[in-house]
Amino acid sequence: MKAIPLAVCLAMLPTLASAIEPGPSSSAQQVTEQWLALQARGAAASPVIQTATPKEREQTMQRWLDSYKYVIPDFYRWEKVSSSD
């Protein structure tokens, strides 16, 4: 007998949920949405194609490879965490 009222409540649950109102909630969010729209449309793209010289590409690759020479400090390592405690 309790299953029927529970089923009715669960069936009505989606109708009770309401989304937030459309549009930005603050001026900062509005500015952010404007920048994201410009970026998506490519409207603010530079007409100058940006390229890297072979020397710059080589330095960038070497910097990336050198980043693997450093040992990761112990305080960044994770120990196994058990949820059974």
- 8-state DSSP, 84: T
Query: What is the pLDDT at residue 39?
Result: 85
Query: What is the pLDDT at residue 62?
Result: 97
Query: What is the pLDDT at residue 47?
Result: 85
What span, in angstroms and rounded, lies between the C-alpha atoms of 36 and 43?
A: 11
Q: Which of 72, 68, 52 is nearest to 60 (CA)?
A: 52
Query: What is the pLDDT at residue 44?
Result: 82
What span, in angstroms and rounded, lies between the C-alpha atoms of 34 and 26?
A: 12
Low-confidence ranges of the chain (pLDDT < 50): none
What span, in angstroms and rounded, lies between the C-alpha atoms of 8 and 40?
A: 44
Query: What is the pLDDT at residue 18?
Result: 61
| Contacts of residue 50, Cβ cutoff 8 Å, sequence gap at least 6 | none
Query: What is the pLDDT at residue 20?
Result: 65
Query: What is the pLDDT at residue 46?
Result: 83
State the chain's mean pLDDT as an integer. Answer: 80
Query: What is the pLDDT at residue 66?
Result: 94
Which pTM does this prediction carry? Answer: 0.36
- 8-state DSSP, 49: P
